[in-house]
């Protein structure tokens, strides 16, 4: 593995890239080599929650399922926050049961996610994907034990440079999510921002991958 794409919705099948492809319970594709699976807050359907959770639990027992998610909280959608919270917490219980890291979607609900981590005493790694906020929030998340993944907004927003530079090297991942750019392009920018060579960045990500995913 030369590159690790922490979160993507598109399998590119490059031989030198390990891609953690996001999957949904009702749209599962068995041909994808490595994946995360979860109930995204956007796609919560009350009459399908129990069925979805059963599918997720079944897939979590597969070695190729590296994580649960993306799951989390989003205050900018119409689905009630208490329902989102219930579904999120049920997935965290599964993450703890099967010792799988959690890929987190969080929009305008960071304090709630932090509070749930504390309340549920979550011990598995929790990774905020697609981070786009300020250094103060990043510092708080790191202090509370979260990892942070950067991709789309790192490419799109130059103001994130300073935020990314201040993230400890043992607490970040890189991703493409839904953008057209390659994970190699994200690595290019990350190595420039961190002022380290490509090989050093690859070593950092590889070490973080081994720690979080026990590989």
Q: Is 89 annotated as a binding residue?
A: no
pLDDT in 10s for each residue of the chain, 215 residues: 899 999 999 999 999 999 999 999 999 999 999 999 999 999 999 999 999 999 999 999 999 999 999 999 999 999 999 999 999 999 999 999 999 999 999 999 999 999 999 999 999 999 999 999 999 999 999 999 999 999 999 999 999 999 999 999 999 999 999 999 999 999 999 999 999 999 999 999 999 999 999 98
Spatial neighbors of 134 by CB under 8 A, at least 6 apart, are 163
SS3 state at 107: strand
For 47, counting Cβ atoms within 10 Å of its Cβ (0-12 exposed, 13-18 middle, 19+ buried), the class is exposed
Write the CATH number for 183.
3.20.20.140
Residue tagged 């996610």 (tokens): 113
User: What does the pLDDT look like over 30-71, one tens digit per residue?
Assistant: 999 999 999 999 999 999 999 999 999 999 999 999 999 999
Q: Is 129 annotated as a binding residue?
A: yes
| DSSP bridge partners of 3 | 17
Q: Is 105 annotated as a binding residue?
A: yes
Give the Cα separation of 143 and 39 in Å (integer).
27
- Specify the pLDDT at position 1: 82
Q: Is 214 annotated as a binding residue?
A: no
How many structural domains compose the chain?
Answer: 1
Spatial neighbors of 41 by CB under 8 A, at least 6 apart, are 71, 72, 73, 74, 77, 79, 84, 87, 88, 105
Structural domain including 175 reads 3-213
Residue tagged 């953008």 (tokens): 179
* Overall pTM surpassing 0.75 (yes/no): yes
Backbone φ and ψ of 171, nearest 5°: -130, 20
């Amino acid at each position: 593995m030369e590159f690790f794409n922490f979160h993507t919705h598109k399998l590119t099948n490059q031989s030198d890239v390990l891609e953690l492809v996001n999957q949904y319970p009702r749209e599962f594709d068995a041909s994808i080599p490595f994946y995360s699976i979860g109930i995204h807050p956007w796609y919560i359907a009350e009459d399908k929650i129990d069925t979805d959770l059963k599918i997720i639990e079944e897939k979590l027992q597969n070695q190729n399922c590296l994580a649960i998610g993306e799951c989390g909280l989003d205050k900018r959608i119409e689905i009630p926050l208490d329902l989102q919270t219930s579904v999120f917490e049920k997935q965290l219980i599964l993450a703890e049961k099967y010792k799988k890291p959690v890929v987190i979607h969080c929009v305008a609900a960071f304090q709630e996610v932090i509070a749930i981590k504390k309340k549920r005493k979550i011990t598995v790694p929790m990774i905020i994907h697609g981070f786009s906020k300020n250094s103060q929030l990043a510092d708080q998340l790191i202090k509370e034990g979260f990892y942070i993944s950067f991709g789309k907004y790192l490419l799109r927003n130059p103001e994130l440079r300073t935020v990314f530079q201040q993230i400890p090297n043992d607490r970040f991942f890189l991703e493409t999510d839904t953008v057209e750019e390659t994970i190699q392009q994200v690595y290019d920018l990350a190595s420039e921002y961190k002022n380290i060579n490509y090989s050093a960045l690859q070593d950092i990500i590889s070490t973080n991958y081994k720690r979080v995913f026990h590989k």
